[in-house]
Structure formats: structure tokens, C-alpha cells
Amino acid sequence: MTLVRPSVLMAALGGAFPARQELALTGMQLVGKGNVRWAKKSAWFRNVPVTAVFPTVGQMEVRVAFAKKAKEAKEKNMTGTRAKPAYSKRLKREFVGAAAYIADNFFEYKAPNRKSPEEYPSKLRKTLHTADELEAILGKAKG
């Protein structure tokens, strides 16, 4: 997926791109068809998921643990590629050294405060604002 905002096109001309965190608040995602067989379009836009802006405690724990493993890989000067049979016998493919190290040492990590699948924010609320909330915000903006 790619975060996209119309102002990025103008920024490309001027050379001033918005920061990634700013784009997560105001941007949109360009989503590819992937395995959605019933989709008629090859790609479409959607709002950024609410957890991109407001991650859960479990998501933050996973991101911190991932960052620590990435730093360990950097400290060990993991470079190049190497086979990864320990990660997945089905994949049997090569990864960049740092990605291989992270996969070997991270894939079983479970966040202590993770939510059950029924509690995922994406199941409870798809976007940052509902249509009713946007209508209320629009009404306040108009006066």
C-alpha cells in the first residue's frame, strides 16, 4: 500500500515533501487488488486505518520489539542475503541480511498486551471519522 495525498504531486514539483507522520493523518492509501478476486478495479483509494494514527498498546509493543531487533541486526553488520530455511520451510527464499535476522529472531514474538481478534480496532471502527462525525465537523466549520 502507498500513502498518497494530492499535495504530494505539487510538493514533487517544489521539492518539499510532507513528513510521513503528517501523511498518515491526512493522506489516503492506494490499495492494490491482491487476492480480492471479486474486485473489478486493480487498485483503489481508502482512508488510512485508525490504528495508523492511534496504535493500540499491543501494536506499540510489537513496533518497539521490532525496532530493537532491527538495531541488533545493524549492530551485527547484517548485510547481503542468505537462505532462510529456519524461518519457513515453505518459503525457502533469501532475504536481505537484516530482514533474515529479524525473521529468525522475531516471528514468534507476541505482545503482552495484544488484543483478541474480536477486539481489533479495525473490526470495531474502520476509519478515523464516521460519516456522521464528518457531517458534524463540517457543520461546525460552516458556522
Within this chain, do residues 47 and 25 fall inside the same structural domain, yes or no? Answer: yes
Q: What is the mean pLDDT of residues 12-34?
A: 71
Q: What is the mean pLDDT of residues 32-40?
A: 85
Domain that includes residue 24, residue range: 1-53
- Asked whether residue 12 is assigned to any structural domain, the reply reads yes
> For residue range 104-143, what is the model confidence (pLDDT) as tens digits?
777 778 888 888 888 887 777 767 777 888 889 889 888 7
- Asked whether residue 69 is assigned to any structural domain, the reply reads yes
Within this chain, do residues 89 and 47 fall inside the same structural domain, yes or no? Answer: no
At a CB cut-off of 8 Å and minimum separation 6, what does 23 contact?
3, 5, 8
Residues linked to residue 66 through DSSP beta bridges, in sequence order: none
Mean pLDDT score across all residues of the chain: 76
> For residue range 79-106, what is the model confidence (pLDDT) as tens digits?
666 554 445 445 566 666 777 777 777 7
- Asked whether residue 116 is assigned to any structural domain, the reply reads no
- Asked whether residue 95 is assigned to any structural domain, the reply reads yes
